Amino acid sequence: MVAWTLQRVTGLLLLFYLFLHIHTISKLSQGPAAFNEAMATFHSPLFKLLEIALLGTVVLHALNGIRITLVDLGVGVQKQRQLFWIVTVGVGVLVFLAGAIPMFIFAVLKV
Amino acid sequence: MMLRNAYEWYFQRITGGLLLVLLAMHFWVEHFMTAPVRRGDLTFQVIAARISNPLWQAIDIGFLLVALFHGLNGLRNIILDYGRLGKRGAGVLNIALILIGAVWAWWGITAFSRL
């Protein structure tokens, strides 16, 4: 139930993000000034942290999706609870940190 | 069960797998590949330099189409899972989601029209 809810909530969030993303990207057709102005909002540290949160949302959805596919294919049906903790949460934390730490260092701290 | 038929199950998994690859690539390109993107300075100039290559345009447009299918099909699964829609309601939902997807795709593709 936790994983099921998680997959739906993260899926809806990502679809909503795709809407915002295309809304911003569509400004490319209005020329450099309009696009750079639209992007200026996203250069603040707050938005960099939200980008890192977006990475977390993607990683959860992707790894839980892999787990669901494995279980559907009959892999680890008996151990699907452990699969949730190992694949979705365990591997998810590692993948998230692998992306989030450099993002934080380069884009937030600007080292 | 959220799955209505085998094709839908199959395409949701296939597009999910494709997104895994495409999104990992997108993440690398937009956040790590060059010094400006590492600092998070995504400007028109930085994007135009990449997107002026037709191959990148094709990859990004393909990426958008795969993401839209996966996202809107997922939304469809959630709505149908409530079981409130009859056969006619489901038909209306399908048409509505196809139209939304078409407009959304057009919105994204035309972003490249002046690059």
Cβ burial, residue A48 (10 Å; 0-12/13-18/19+): buried
Decide if the complex's ipTM is over 0.95. Answer: no
Q: What is the pLDDT of residues A96-105, one digit of tens each?
A: 999 999 999 9
Q: What is the pLDDT of residues A19-57, one digit of tens each?
A: 999 999 999 999 999 999 999 989 899 999 999 999 999
The structure's pTM equals: 0.93
Q: Which residues of A touch B (CB under 8 A)?
A: 8, 11-12, 14-15, 18-19, 22, 25-32, 35-36, 39, 42-43, 48, 51, 55, 58, 62, 65-66, 69, 72, 99, 102-103, 106-107, 110
Q: What is the pLDDT of residues B65-98, one digit of tens each?
A: 999 999 999 999 999 999 899 899 999 999 999 9
DSSP state of A108: I
The string of DSSP letters for A77-101 reads STTHHHHIIIIIIIIHHHHHHHHHH
CATH architecture for segment(s) A2-108? Up-down Bundle (1.20)
Report how far Cα B80 is from the mean position of its chain's Cα atoms: 21
Domain B6-112, CATH number (from 1.10.10.60, 3.40.470.10, 1.20.1300.10, 3.30.360.10): 1.20.1300.10
CA pseudo-torsion sign A80, A85, A89, A93: negative
